[in-house]
Amino acid sequence: MNQYDVIVVGAGHAGIEACLATSRLGLKTLIVTTNIDRIGYMSCNPSIGGLAKGHMVRELDILGGQMGFAADKTCIQYKRLNSSKGPAVRGTRVQNDKHEYNKFMTQTLNNQQNLVVRQGEVKRLLLDQNICVGVVLDDGSEIRSQAVVITAGTFMNGVMHIGLQQSPGGRIGDKASIGLSDQLREFGFNVQRLKTGTPPRLLNSSIDWSKTTAQYGDPKFFPFSLRSSDQFELKQVACHLTRTTVETHEIIRENLNKSPLFCGIIEGVGPRYCPSIEDKITRFSDRDSHQTFLEPEGLNTDLIYLQGISTSLPEEVQYNFLRTIPGLENVKIVRPGYAVEYDFIEPTQILHTLQTRTIDRLFLAGQINGTSGYEEAAVQGFIAGVNAAHMVLGRDEFILNRDEAYLGVLIDDLVTKGTREPYRMFTSRAEHRLVLREDNTLDRLAARSSKLGLLPAVDLAKLNLISDQRRDLSSYLKLTKIFPTQEMQQKLRDRHLVVMTKSLTLEEFLRRTDVTPEIVADLGFTMNLDPLVSEAVEIEVKYAGYVKRQLDLIQQSKKFEDLLLPEDLIYLSVRGLSNEEIDKLSKIRPRTLGQAQRISGVNPSAIQAIMIHLKSRRSAKENSFESAGRNNSPDQLAN
């Protein structure tokens, strides 16, 4: 069969979410990958989540995505990061068995209705003028569709670097994808180069674990997914901490002339927030040690991932400096670290739907848009898949705002600001992060998920039940009072709590820093202590003042976010704009005035100028209409 509704190119984290979204919405979908044994393969660190990243995985799950469920199923260590800090910066992270994750995602795709998995390489797109109508594979076969989603990862013109040696490929064991980015460049796309890297993989039995410090996960499991049990499915393991030494740094410095990063061989920009060990010792030359975590890649493998030691130095140099690290004196490298340089598309060339501006019905998701990380890729794949499906089905665009989800922040940042380095999500990127917490993901996106229709009925029912229970508990806290009777005051003293000076509602009482839902229940009040219910309600109560101020700011900014800019607006005709502002606004074509004000180089005065221009334009249209009404009959106006 050579006719599908949607074709997805690539079966990494973005491709998986894209093809599942389209097929679950009832569309005949084909996913093409160069290696069917590497579906959902974790090329770098076998972990999911982290600060802000964990937020996105939960958002994806509520909307009907797959990553969170797969991460829960294959978790071998769970941690809640920043658990002692404010709720806005807490994040879930799990270490995964990479082979089980790959196996789980492969089975998911093979069992999905309306989905065909095919091994092959997409060499070019089939275009009808500026409309994408399918793809051409390496065997020459043409496959037609109504929409195409490209999720090429690090494979487009990918080149791997180990020392001064280069070889084509997107990762060890997989060949590069040649042709697509060249075709896009010829069509007018701005194609640039980025670089990423990965550490060496070490043999477990060659490590002296007694010289490292064990790092255990949390015993209590709060899964990403509503579908998951709160009990671990796999054995939990420890990771181990060790550190580089002065000698480590000396060896690396002496061999920088053999690093492709420092010889000018690699032109692509690497991730600033995940630098190679060569970068670290150069940029932080005052430090004589950097920590590194030894993380198992699975329960049934001897491979150890060396987090924080990404490198592209020659293998013999890697051996030399690794053996100066405590515990690694006799280490054996199973696979050396290496760098990958690859093509990406400057993301200001795509819309918020992730459809390209230049070619209709062509969507881009993942590292092709300049991002870094499994989570960033997965959520883009989901958004691209949903919007590709909605275009085919004739439904409205699916776009999340910055105050709704980290997904919205990610895509708006890419489309509005672009990127010159691999983009990674942080809580600091979200100006509304106090209302974009992990605990309230369900409250933020329940209505959106219900309308979208991707969440199975049983999960949607669970989502609605939790929402109802949260509302019931909030109402109970507002309406129920606690009085400073002698008996109550003694109960407080017995629990080493400050006594009351007046009667309070339970909501006011819970607002105290020394009071938790468990204490309220212990005092004799009926409380729902399910963490999915009580934790979110407690945070809303304790941070009510801060949340209200943030919501007020969001409401104030709505007038800009809701003001859609005309698609035919000619910025050259707007008086008061600088040449730079005209150039950037004309290239990015912001959807709303809110997006326009986030474009780098567009000043507040420009926003005022656009508003004045739109007002005068509207007045001119109204005057024209009134004049036509005076000079023409109603029948003429209707025509």
pLDDT of residue 485: 95
pLDDT for the residue numbered 38: 95
Distance CA 177, CA 101 (A): 24
CATH of range 4-196+341-449; options 3.40.50.300, 3.50.50.60, 3.30.70.360, 3.20.190.10:
3.50.50.60
Terminal alpha carbon distance of the chain: 48
Q: State pLDDT tens for residues 471-522.
A: 999 999 999 999 999 999 999 999 999 999 999 999 999 999 999 999 999 9
DSSP-derived secondary structure for 593-613:
HHHHHTSTT--HHHHHHHHHH
Summarised one tens digit per residue, pLDDT across range 92-141 is 999 999 999 999 999 999 999 999 999 999 999 999 999 999 999 999 99
Q: What is the pLDDT of residue 553?
A: 82
Q: What is the DSSP letter of 562?
A: T
Contact predicate 197/340, CB 8 Å: yes
- Model pLDDT, residue 638: 33
Q: Between 1.20.120.1200, 3.20.20.370, 1.10.287.3610, 1.10.150.570, what CATH number should domain 563-638 receive?
A: 1.10.150.570
User: Which pLDDT tens digit goes with each residue over 516-561?
Assistant: 999 999 999 999 999 999 999 999 999 998 888 888 888 888 888 8
Residues of the chain above pLDDT 90, percent: 78
Average pLDDT of the residues of the chain: 92
Q: Which CATH number fits domain 201-339: 3.10.105.10, 2.60.40.740, 3.40.50.10470, 2.40.30.260?
A: 2.40.30.260
Task: Check residue 369 and give left, alpha or beta (phi > 0: left; psi -120 to 50: alpha).
Answer: alpha
Q: Which pLDDT band, with edges at 50, 70 and 90, does 263 fall under?
A: confident
Among residues 460, 458, 456, 457, which one has the least CA distance to residue 24?
456
**What pLDDT, on the 0 to 100 scale, is given for residue 558?**
80
What distance in Å separates the CA atoms of residue 27 and residue 5, rounded to the nearest whole number? 6
Instruction: Assign domain 468-550 one CATH number from 3.30.450.40, 3.30.420.40, 1.10.10.1800, 1.20.1250.20.
Output: 1.10.10.1800
The angle, 0 to 180 degrees and rounded to 10, between the axes of the packed helices 13-24 and 374-393 is: 30
Domain extent listing, the chain: 4-196+341-449, 201-339, 468-550, 563-638
Please say whether the beta carbons of 242 and 301 come within 8 A: no
Q: Which band of pLDDT confidence, cut at 50, 70 and 90, is reported for residue 636?
A: very low
171-185, 191-205, 367-381, 478-492: least confidently modelled range? 171-185
Give the burial class of 140: count Cβ atoms within 10 A of its Cβ; 0-12 exposed, 13-18 middle, 19 or more buried: exposed
Contact 435, 63 (CB under 8 A): no
Which of 153-157, 169-173, 182-186 shows the lowest per-residue confidence on average (mean pLDDT)? 169-173
Residue 158 has pLDDT above 70, yes or no: yes
Q: What is the DSSP letter of 313?
A: S
The sheet with strand 147-150 has its strands ordered as 115-119, 29-33, 6-9, 147-150, 362-364
Identity at 423, one-letter amino acid code? Y
Q: Residue 623 pLDDT > 80, yes or no?
A: no
Instruction: Give me the mean pLDDT over the 612-636 stretch.
Output: 62
Q: How confident is the model at residue 381 (pLDDT cuts 50, 70, 90)?
A: very high
CB 80 within 8 A of CB 90: yes
The DSSP code sequence of 198-230 is EPPEEEGGGS-GGGSEEE---SS---S-TTS-S
The amino acid that residue 51 corresponds to is L
Res 621: pLDDT: 65
- Which run of H or of E encompasses 104? helix 98-110
DSSP 3: B
Distance CA 187, CA 126 (A): 12
Prediction pTM value = 0.92
Cα gap 272→282, rounded to integer Å: 13
Are 10 and 153 in contact by the 8 Å Cβ rule? The answer is yes
Q: What mean pLDDT do residues 319-332 have?
A: 97
CB-based burial label for 559 (10 Å; 0-12, 13-18, 19+): exposed
Question: pLDDT, tens digit, for every residue of 2-61?
Answer: 899 999 999 999 999 999 999 999 999 999 999 999 999 998 899 999 999 999 999 999
- Residue 635, pLDDT > 70, answer no
| Residues 355, 337: Cα–Cα separation, whole Å | 35
pLDDT value at residue 61: 97
The pLDDT assigned to 554 comes to: 84
pLDDT of residue 174: 86
What pLDDT is attached to residue 261? 80
In this predicted structure, what is the pLDDT of residue 628? 52
CATH topology match: 4-196+341-449 vs 201-339: no
Dihedral, CA atoms, 144, 147, 148, 149, nearest 10 degrees? -160
pLDDT given for residue 90 in this prediction: 84
Quickly state the pLDDT bin for 634 (edges 50, 70, 90).
very low
Confidence category of residue 1, pLDDT binned at 50, 70, 90: low
